[in-house]
Structure 1
Amino acid sequence: MNDKVINFIREHHMIKNGDKVLVAFSGGPDSVCLLHVLYMMRQELNISLGAAHVNHLLRGDDSFEDESYVEKMCANFGIPCFTKRVDIESMAKEKGISSEMAGREARYGFFNEIIKKEGFNKVAIAHNANDQAETILMRVMRGTGIDGLVGIRPVRNDVYIRPILCITREEIENYCVSNNLNPRIDRTNLESIYSRNKVRLEMIPFIKNNFNKDIVESLNRLASLANVDSEYIDKSSENMYFKFCKEKIGTIIINKEAFNIHEALLTRLIRKSIFYVSGATYNFEMKHIYDIILLQKGKTGKSINLPNNIVAENSYGDIIISMRKFEGHRSIEFIISKQELDEKEVENLRLDGLSYDAVLQVKQNNNKINLNSSDLIKYFDYDKIKQKIIIRNRKNGDKIKPLGMTGTKKIKDIFIDNKVPNNLRDEIPLVCFDDQISWIVGLKISDLFKVNKNTKNILQISFIERE
């Protein structure tokens, strides 16, 4: 058993010399086996151990007995034990999610807390070969692709590791008996009340008895083979992501050219884009990916709502993926008095809510300034400003007198002419001097405050795009 696990750990480069490993410890057979195996191998691997237990408060007195068992076992091993109690039913109701999803959120949130406070760099989770087989069968029944066939990955994000994924449930139970570990048993796992339990208790035994007695090993082999192909396609799609996608403060812009690449790469590129915006891909299915592909073939300005409060919009063939804004237009405004700027000469502004930060600086005109050096650096006649400089986002009816024009033009029309996506228009700063718009940052400046040969003092405004 130990040889099998340590070879699996080394094959997948799970643990390095000196790692601090936190074991997700429920007290059930799988996690008890995992903790014991790692404890027995701690010197060979040169690791230090800790355990984390979340009491879900779902099983009455049994939940507290599980917690007590966990604490006693850790005390016997002389390793630190971190416990937390979370009312999962209340959490699920409050967030409108399933108890299973709420439990997962609570556990992983707790793991992250401990990692930050205690310096652990790996979290070991006790998924086993039977869990892998069950996961693959459930995904096949839902109509999965190659990524679904990979099932549970041995290593995720170089933090979450599954050292006993190579071990069957029968081997785990035998190990616990032979080492007199007496793990806690969750009786709900023995009842066919959930889909996974039905797969575990009915489907897999039926396949074993009638088709393939080694079905668990066969499905794990399928997962391993699928993983090889999936990793290659993932790497190729990542190259396409960096070529065609632009990350912009919680928003992704997918260039329309991306939709000409092979579908296998495109679907992964879209999934990676969704992950960048929402931080997860839970609740997303392939039909949502294909909805986005279909959206791109439609008209500009059309949008669709997706799970996890995500919205995708067609912007002249590009696809913008961002968080859905429920509050409507939000007014943002920063005001600097001319008197204040006279005293400082330089003002650095953090423009929360907009796409940029700004630097304002007053200079004397020496006729050597390149007025067209950058779209994000512009120069204005400072003496024409009477009282204040305002940096804000758009308002209904906004107009500007563009440089070189005699009349005014609506800001809305300028955004349309320049194909600015709807969801980004509120984030583009407008620079106003007193009551006049002088600059739509990155797009147009006003004729009213232009620098000429008679200008004595210049206001230089530089915008820095935030990553």
Structure 2
Amino acid sequence: MSTTAKLEGQVAGALRRAGYSGNDTTLVVGVSGGPDSSALLVCLHRLSERHGLRLHVAHLNHNFRGEEAEEDARFVISVAEELGLQYTVEKRHPRGGDLTGNSSFEQAARETRYGFLAEVAQNVGASAVAVGHTADDLAETVLLHILRGSGLHGLRGMDELSAWPWPAQGKDLALFRPLLGANKTDTVTYCQESGRAFRDDTGNYLKRFTRNRVRNQLIPLLAKDYNPRITDSLVRLARTSAQEVDFLEQETERIWPQVAFEIEDGVQFRRAELTSLHPLLQRMVLRRGYALLTGDTRRLRESHLTSMAGAAIEKTSGGTLDLPGGLKLHLTYDYVLLSRDAVIPCPLPILNLDYQVGLPTANEPQIVTLAGPWKVTIERVDSGSAPFLPNSPGASSYITPEASPGD
């Protein structure tokens, strides 16, 4: 089978799995001009009529490679026009990063790029943004996460279809990666077989960027001296980790109501139930709580989760822990609270007072569930023997029938 047939078969399969085939789907295609994104664009264009796709090309110039970047933009425009596709091309310098700080610049560039793609997708009414990540990119990502001490979520690397948090609009961007089953030699060969030129980004060789060193130095070294199939091994690790994360997320969903519930501006965990879980499930539950409040777990590291779980087990009431994204973990005797509040918020959910509960007619206690963990026990007692308020539990109240509304 030719590389062209193989690649187009892989992309067609990815379209069907994502539900984008035959549904009159609009896709934004992120195109840098390199072999991966160029191959993706040509491939999707060839498949577009058969699968009912409308394509819109998007290219962002980060404005730090001068004339070379301008040539990349002109190249992408020429390809889009040749294919008869609409396009959006812009310049944006990454915010919050500079070329002297490799990881900060890489992260800032990524945030700026996906923010741009999300805006284009919203403007054209696209279902998703298709990007040209390959198996090589997946392997690099997994290895980077290993070097940073990531947990299982980091080891899964990238998924074929995933959500990129877009805080500016309070929603997620759907990212579609149909080339994860191919590698870079496949995309280069595809372009050659299709008679398509592509650009070579010299920024991919700058040693000050961590990913470039992993791609150009570390992975070749590992392949030469340790495992000639290191990329395949890392991809296999990613897929196994993805299955394990999927299972753990299902288990977290199952136990969530027993362990946690949302309160106003926070999430509360029952401390005894949380600390009785397996350590891995403790971290999964805490991670879910963090995600509910921030909508984005990219700044949350495995070390943060370990500290949170350790605090729940070891720290006494009144302890706090600062977390990324402006969140705080508060500890009480019975609860672990995640909140943006600097002080411990009320650990109980707001009680909707629009309830009417009838008084029991017999001496048997009547238990009424109101909301969340709220349960009210109503019991008739003899006023002559009642242990009225001075000696009552803190959550007790005594009401005479004459003081209650209704009959």
Map residues 238-257 of structure 1 onto 2, 5 A cutoff: 238-256=253-271, 257=273
In the alignment, the residues of structure 2 paired with residue 357 and residue 184 of structure 1 have an alpha-carbon distance, to the nearest angstrom, of: 61
**In the aligned structure 2, how far is the partner of 1:290 from the partner of 1:187?**
40
Q: Which residue, 277, 281, 298 being the options, matches 2:293?
A: 277
> 1 CA distance for matches of 2:212 and 2:118?
29
- Give runs of aligned pairs for residues 113-132 of structure 1, distance below 5 A: 113-132=119-138
Preserved contact between residue 140 and residue 211 of structure 2 (Cα < 8 Å): yes
Q: How many Å apart are 1:177 and its aligned residue?
A: 2.8
Residue pairs, 1:372-451, within 5 angstroms? none
1:191 maps to 2:206: yes
Say which structure is richer in helix: 2
Gaps of 5+ in 2: 164-172, 361-367, 372-387
1:74 paired with 2:80, answer: yes
Retained in 1: the 8 A contact 2:27–2:56?
yes
Instruction: List per-residue Cα deviations over 1:378-425 (Å, max 9, x = no partner).
Output: xxxxxxxxxxxxxxxxxxxxxxxxxx989xxxxxxx9xx67xxxxxxx
- Structure 1 distance, partners of 2:49, 2:129, is 18
Which residue of structure 1 lines up, in the alignment, with residue 140 of structure 2?
134
| Structure 1 residues 271 and 85: CA distance shift in structure 2, 3 A | same
- Asked whether the equivalents of residues 176 and 183 of structure 1 are also in contact (C-alpha less than 8 Å), the reply is yes
- Output the amino acid matched with 1:25: V
Unaligned runs of 5+ in 1: 330-353, 360-367, 377-403, 407-413, 419-442, 459-467
Change (3 A) 1:194 1:294: same
Q: Does 1:13 align with 2:17?
A: yes
Q: 2:311 aligns with which of 288, 295, 311?
A: 295
Among 216, 223, 227, the residue aligned to 1:201: 216
The change in CA–CA distance for 1:67 and 1:356 in structure 2 (over 3 A counts) is farther
Q: 2:59 aligns with which of 33, 38, 53?
A: 53
SS at match of 2:21: coil
CA drift of 1:451 comes to 11
Please report how far the alpha carbon of residue 162 of structure 1 lies from its aligned counterpart in structure 2 after TM superposition: 0.5
Which residue of structure 2 lines up, in the alignment, with residue 383 of structure 1?
none
Q: 1:453 to 1:91 in 2, by over 3 A?
A: closer
Tell whether the 8 Å contact from 1:34 to 1:126 is kept in structure 2 after alignment.
yes
TM-score after normalising by structure 1: 0.67
Distance 1:103 1:273, change over 3 A: same
> Which residue of structure 2 lines up, in the alignment, with residue 422 of structure 1?
none
For residue 144 of structure 2, what is the amino acid of its counterpart? M
1:159 partner SS:
strand
CA distance in 2 between partners of 1:276 and 1:454 (Å):
40
Q: Which residue of 309, 323, 342 maps to 1:306?
A: 323
Q: In structure 2, do the counterparts of structure 1 residues 200 and 265 end up closer, same or farther at CA, with 3 Å as the change threshold? A: same
Deviations 1:283-332 (CA, angstroms, capped at 9, x unpaired): 2211111111122122222111011211111133321112255xx99xxx
Q: CA deviation at 1:59?
A: 1.6
Note if contact 2:7-2:186 (Cα within 8 Å) is conserved in structure 1: no
Q: Secondary structure at the match of 2:336?
A: strand
* Letter aligned with residue 278 of structure 2: H
Shift of 1:187: 0.7
Q: TM-score, normalised by structure 2?
A: 0.76
Kindly state the Cα deviation for residue 255 of structure 1 after the two structures are TM-superposed. 2.0
- The aligned runs of 1:30-179 (5 Å cut-off) are 30-88=36-94, 90-92=95-97, 98-157=104-163, 159-179=174-194
SS in 1 for 2:325: coil
In the alignment, residue 268 of structure 1 is paired with which amino acid? Answer: M
Distance of aligned partners of 1:152 and 1:454 in 2 relative to their CA distance in 1, 3 Å threshold: closer
**Which structure has the greater CA radius of gyration?**
1
State the alpha-carbon separation in 2 of the partners of residues 203 and 152 from structure 1. Answer: 20
Matched with 1:211 is: 226
- Of residues 237, 260, 279, the one that matches 1:263 is 279
Deviation at residue 233 of structure 1 after TM alignment: 1.9
The one-letter code sitting in structure 1 at the alignment partner of 2:156 is: V
1:406-453 deviation digits (Å, cap 9, x = unpaired): 9xxxxxxx9xx67xxxxxxxxxxxxxxxxxxxxxxxx999x9xx9977
1:183 CA drift (Å): 2.0
Q: 2:378 maps to what in 1?
A: none
AA at the equivalent of 1:180: G
Structure (1/2) with the larger strand percentage: 1
- Could you tell me whether the CA contact under 8 Å between 1:204 and 1:215 is conserved in 2? yes
What is the alpha-carbon distance in structure 2 between the residues aligned to residue 210 and residue 374 of structure 1?
65
* Partner Cα distance (1:6, 1:283) in 2: 36
